[in-house]
Structure formats: structure tokens, C-alpha cells
Structure 1
Amino acid sequence: MKRQLNVNWKLHEEICTQDCSSLSELSQCEDSCKASFHASIGEIFLPITWADLREPEAERMFISRRLHSLGENSLVDDLITIGCQICGAPVNDRLASNTEHNTIPLYCQRSSDRLHMIGTIYRPFLLYLWDDSKYLPISVTNKAAELLFGNIPAEKVLSSYKLHRPSPSHTGFKKDRSCARKEVDNEGEKGGGHNPNFYMIWLILLRSVFQHGKNRPFKFKVTVDTNRDWENGRLEMVSVSLPAFTGTPQN
């Protein structure tokens, strides 16, 4: 009789993908799976746990409300930090205490060697989506955020921001839009010899996703983990397809 060999790995289990016609149908998924659907973006909610916010500062966590504020130059400081570029866990996203100074997991669950790749990342946030049937939050970490922000890594945004830091007399969205377009045109004319202002381009893309009623719905793919609740990663973004922006940016 042949002895059965023990192995220390499991065969890869294929996860089924479900096409959902609405957020309401998505919310009724009873089994963990991957799901694709179309929806519009309503809000980016950034849980700020690394600072002690006073009550009047609570709106700082709602990104869409800050995008058109004159003199709002702290978005980069809030949305970008140091952490694992693979799993998206920040090095320290909570208030330091005597017992808690570092909240990054010991091992990276998404790395083949279980080691974190420390660098500049987008902080995890909740992307609130809507359609005619429902509102739902999906969790977005570093790699998924790059896709949402036009494949611009956090490191490029941060270095460009430091180089082209806006002045206090910054005049708002129309100037941003014209500057970003000029940067892209210059890049094309010089055949890549000019470094574009990635901060400005990122800011335009970020503002563009909130053109409510003017954008066609985005196509999302998420993983569904029925063991988690809605605000803690039940739905986690895998990919997004951006529509063509048809609206004219507003002040």
C-alpha cells in the first residue's frame, strides 16, 4: 500500500465571479466571492485615526468637501503616508500610546515571501458608491487607489507636491485644470524630457470623479468577504474602469 504524502500547501481554489446588476443585488451576496458591477462615486471617507480631531474638524474626513476649498493644501498630507506598498497597511495610522506605537501587521498577507515592502502609499479609505437602488462603502487600499487615481503612484504625487507646492494665493479649480493640461501638453512636446506636475494631474483626476450627474457610472470589481462588516472590508476594490468624463468642471 502506498503511503499518502503530506504537503504543506493547499491547491488554489478558484473564486467565482458574480456580475451584479445593482448595488442592491451586490448587498445580498451570501457567499464570499468576486463581484463586478456599475456604480457612481458619492464620497471618499478617510478615517483619520492618527490625529486628535476636534468636532469642527470632523469634515476633514470627507474628501469631496475639501476639494474645492481655497487654500486647501493638506490633502496630500492626509491621503499619503508610509506603509506597505503591497498590502497597503500604514506603518502607524493610530494615535501613539504607551502600548501602541506601530499598527502594521507583522507579516504581509499579499506578498509571496510575507515581507512588507515599505514605501510611500495611499492611506486606506472607504469609497461610498451609489446607484438608483442603494449606497454602499467599499474598502480601497494602495494598489487599488493607484488605479482610481489614473495609475499615479503615491510616491510621484508626494514628490511632485513637494516640488510644486501650491502658494497661499492658489486660485482654485480652473487654474488647476489649465495648469494640468499645460503639463501634459509639455510632456508630449518634449518627448518625456519634462517631468509633469503629477500632483496637479492627480488633483484634477480626484476632482473629476465627483462630477455628480455628469460622469457615466464606473465599472468596479470587488472581493466580497461575508465574514466582515460593511465599514471594515466586506467589499474591497480590486479594479475600476474609468468612464470618459463628459461634464465641464465647475468652480
Structure 2
Amino acid sequence: MAAAIGWYGPLIDLSRASSHVGDMVQLLVFVQRSQPIEKIIASSRRPILMTNIQVGDDTMPYFVVSVWHKYIGTMIVPGVVILLQNVKIVKFREVLQATTLQISSLTVLAHGSHLITSKDSDQLIAHLQLGGTTREKYSKVIHWIQHTESAMYFVRKTDGDQQSSVQVPKNWKSPEDPKPRNILSITDVLCLHNSCKVVFHAFIGEIFLSSLRNDEAKEQMFLRKTLLKIDKTRIMEDLICLGCTKCGSPMDYRFPLYCSNNSNYVHDIGQIYKPFMLHVWDHAALIPLLVKDRAATILFGSITAEMVHKCYNQISINHIPVPLHYQDFCSSNLISFAGDESRKPLRNLNDANGGSNKPKFYHIWLVLLKILLKKQESPFQFEVNVDKEKDIENGRFELILFRMPCFISEIT
């Protein structure tokens, strides 16, 4: 079927879909979910069956394709690799997706059983007549599927491999696998019932200051609203406090007697980031992540709470105003990193840091907060510890590492 119809557009990675809105493209993807939906045509009131499929590739784990052809929809089942020809990239309610046209076609390249039994893509590609670019993309998608645990879950589930879902009772404890599990979407993370470490991609939505408990501070529990206000003096107070730099516990009524992260069980007291909830989302769901001091330091560009607190105190002593907009700070103050000391405001800021040309960590920290809470075009990568013994509000999902992935396809 694929050979009978020509290509009216390039074969693209899903991460490049935003550059092809309104264009016809070819997609080589892995099918995760397939859902038939009945639609009513407004003009004739005639019902029509369409199929929404959730797909992914090695550059983006989640993407939606609307299939309007009944015969194509019946060919699509979860756990297969397909080549979709001549589909159109559209934006519907600010969400990118693909939709089939009259000249669209589909070819199933690999079934679930093939993905389980084959060790590499060479075995799967030997019988296929594909061009060089398509073969390369196919190899990347197969490698991504076979090294992503939740993708293989869809393969086993649809292929009838029931043994993988049966847990055999043991009288010993298996050693923990230090390698985190790659997860396709937040929905899959929320469905986990075992304690483990997972890696997934998502966007940052909001920072929820869970340590604020009184009614007066309710409106400041969401940091985005606080950052929009001219008076930002409480941000540092809301996010930083005295506590243990080893275990990240604040010195309040819940402060533990012993430190679980120190070999001698003694707390190391200093300025830390208060535990807060980071709300992240993808196109499937939203999840709150508990963020403690060490993970917060990584999230804020390796700027520790001690650095922010010390710089803030120096600025307060010298009565130096904080820039109202992070664009103003970037344009006027970051130039001091290059050694330009000719401007008076820069001299004042250097005086606030002990007279030396040191980075203004409090100002940079505010800039990073605003950037993190801005609408992002690309998802971040989160490594999260899942503790089945806790509920969501008390740290069932705790952030460990935070990365900003760089897709080569976006650069070249």
C-alpha cells in the first residue's frame, strides 16, 4: 500500500512537528494506544468513525494522530511500528497533532512479537524495502522501544505475554536495579504500583509552596502569582529557611531527631530550600513532584540556598533595588560577567557582594525562577523516585535529577 502512493512531504521526527504546521509529512512511529471515537458531521448529521492514536518516536514520547479512514483505523493496534504517509500537521486548541487525508496511507513495519524476539533492528529491517533515511529512522525507533520499559509494556500487553504481568512470590529480596526506568508519559507514572526510579519528559506548570499553611498566605502558595507582583521580597523567605543540608529537613516542629543521610546521624544545619511541590505536565496528565533541598539546587542551576541567602542579605544592607523584570536584569547586569565595571549600578551590585566582581546569585535566581515558570516550547527531563508507601501529597513522587535535553535534530 505504501509503494502505490508517492510521498508529498519529508519524513520528520515528531520533535520537529511544530516546524511543519499545515504541511504534509511522513511519520515513522510506535503506536501506544488506539481509541475509536464516533463523530457527527455537522452538515449532514451523519455519524462517522474516527480513531485517535497515541504514538511516539525516539525524539518525542507522546503525540496524537487523528485517523479518519476506517480501513486504516482497523489496521492500527497498540504495540506496532507503523509508517504513516501523507498526513497533515495541524494545531487544534494550541495542541499539535497530525490528521489523515484522502491520500494518506499506512504500512505496518513491525508487530509486537517481532519486537520481543528480535535483538536488534537489523533482523527486523532485512525484509523491508526502505530508503536510507527511512531505514535509519526505523533503527532509531526500534532501539528506543527496546530500551524504554513502558514502551515494551505496551508490546507485551498486546502480544499476549501474560507471564510478564505475573509476580512470583519470593522468600528473598531482589537487589534494587540502580538504573531508572524510561517512561513514556505521566499517565504511566501515575499507574505505577512498585517503588522504583523513573525518567520521563514533561513541562513545568507551577511551584506550589506547601510549607505555607496560614490563610493569609494562601494566595502566595503558587509561586507564579508571587513572581508577577512588584514586591518580590517574600519569595526568598517563602523558599529558603534553616534546616539540614544533608537530609533537607526544615527546622520546624517536624524536624527529625536524627539525620538519615549522614553516616553519624548528626544534622548539618545551614540555609536550605524548603520542600515544595513542583507541578509538571504533559499532554496526558499532571503530576506533583516533591522537591527537597538537593534536587532544588539542581533545578535552580546549582545555585544553593546559602548563596541566595548571603547575596540577598548583602543587597538588603546596601539598599540595592531588585530589577522588576528579568529582561532588565539580563540587559543591564549580566554584562558584568564580562568584566565591564564602567557602569555605576554594576559597581553598587559588586559592593553588595563584598566589593568583588562575583555573580549576583539572588538576581540570577529570580531570573531562573521566571524562566522555569514561563511557557516552554520543549519538555524537560525528570528523574523521579517513586515510593509506593507514601501518598502523592507526602512525597510519593520525589524529584532526584532535572535535565534540559538537547535534541540533535533541533540543532542541525
CA drift at 1:179 = 4.1
Give the TM-score normalised by the residue count of structure 1. 0.79
Q: Does the Cα contact within 8 Å between 1:215 and 1:243 map onto a contact in 2?
A: no
Aligned-partner SS, 1:44: strand
CA drift at 1:172 = 2.9
Residue 385 of structure 2 is aligned to residue 223 of structure 1: yes
Return the alpha-carbon distance in structure 1 between the equivalents of residues 396 and 222 of structure 2.
Answer: 20
Deviations 1:140-190 (A, max 9, x none): 000000000000010000111111247568533332332442243339xxx
Within 5 Å, give how 1:182-201 maps onto structure 2: 182-186=335-339, 194-201=357-364
Q: Does the Cα contact within 8 Å between 2:276 and 2:291 map onto a contact in 1?
A: yes
The 1:129–1:207 alpha-carbon spacing in structure 2 relative to 1, beyond 3 Å, is same
Corresponding residue number in structure 1 for 2:69: none
Corresponding residue number in structure 2 for 1:69: 229
Within 5 Å, give how 1:3-82 maps onto structure 2: 13-15=176-178, 17-49=180-212, 52-54=214-216, 57-82=217-242
Corresponding residue number in structure 1 for 2:260: 109
Deviations 1:191-218 (A, max 9, x none): xx62111000111111101121x34111
Deviations 1:77-102 (A, max 9, x none): 1100000001110001xxxxxxxxx3
Q: Does the Cα contact within 8 Å between 1:42 and 1:128 map onto a contact in 2?
A: yes
Higher relative contact order structure (alpha carbons within 8 Å, sequence separation ≥ 6) = 1
Return the alpha-carbon distance in structure 2 between the equivalents of residues 180 and 169 of structure 1.
Answer: 11
Return the alpha-carbon distance in structure 1 between the equivalents of residues 365 and 405 of structure 2.
Answer: 16
Unaligned 5+ runs, structure 2: 1-172, 341-355, 407-412
Query: Which amino acid is 2:195 matched to?
Result: S
Return the alpha-carbon distance in structure 1 between the equivalents of residues 312 and 274 of structure 2.
Answer: 17
Corresponding residue number in structure 1 for 2:47: none
Query: Which amino acid is 2:211 matched to?
Result: I
Return the alpha-carbon distance in structure 2 between the equivalents of residues 118 and 152 of structure 1.
Answer: 18
Instruction: Return 39-48 or 164-173, whichever deviates more.
Output: 164-173
Instruction: Return 226-235 or 163-172, whichever deviates more.
Output: 163-172
Return the alpha-carbon distance in structure 2 between the equivalents of residues 39 and 28 of structure 1.
Answer: 16
Query: Which amino acid is 1:60 matched to?
Result: Q
Q: Which has the higher strand share?
A: 2
Percent identity, aligned pairs only, is: 35
Corresponding residue number in structure 1 for 2:349: none
Give the TM-score normalised by the residue count of structure 2. 0.49
The 1:168–1:182 alpha-carbon spacing in structure 2 relative to 1, beyond 3 Å, is closer
Please identify the structure whose Cα radius of gyration is greater: 2
The 1:197–1:30 alpha-carbon spacing in structure 2 relative to 1, beyond 3 Å, is same
Corresponding residue to 1:203 among 363, 366, 373: 366
The 1:167–1:74 alpha-carbon spacing in structure 2 relative to 1, beyond 3 Å, is farther
Q: Does the Cα contact within 8 Å between 1:85 and 1:120 map onto a contact in 2?
A: yes
RMSD: 2.6
Return the alpha-carbon distance in structure 1 between the equivalents of residues 405 and 179 of structure 2.
Answer: 26
Within 5 Å, give how 1:224-243 maps onto structure 2: 224-242=386-404
Aligned-partner SS, 2:312: helix
Q: Does the Cα contact within 8 Å between 1:124 and 1:140 map onto a contact in 2?
A: yes
Return the alpha-carbon distance in structure 2 between the equivalents of residues 185 and 240 of structure 1.
Answer: 28
Q: Which has the higher helix share?
A: 2
The 1:170–1:195 alpha-carbon spacing in structure 2 relative to 1, beyond 3 Å, is closer
Instruction: Return 167-176 or 108-117, whichever deviates more.
Output: 167-176
CA drift at 1:45 = 0.3
Corresponding residue to 2:304 among 153, 175, 192: 153
Return the alpha-carbon distance in structure 1 between the equivalents of residues 374 and 260 of structure 2.
Answer: 36
Return the alpha-carbon distance in structure 1 between the equivalents of residues 337 and 175 of structure 2.
Answer: 43
The 1:167–1:52 alpha-carbon spacing in structure 2 relative to 1, beyond 3 Å, is farther
CA drift at 1:66 = 1.2
Aligned-partner SS, 2:295: helix
Aligned-partner SS, 2:395: coil
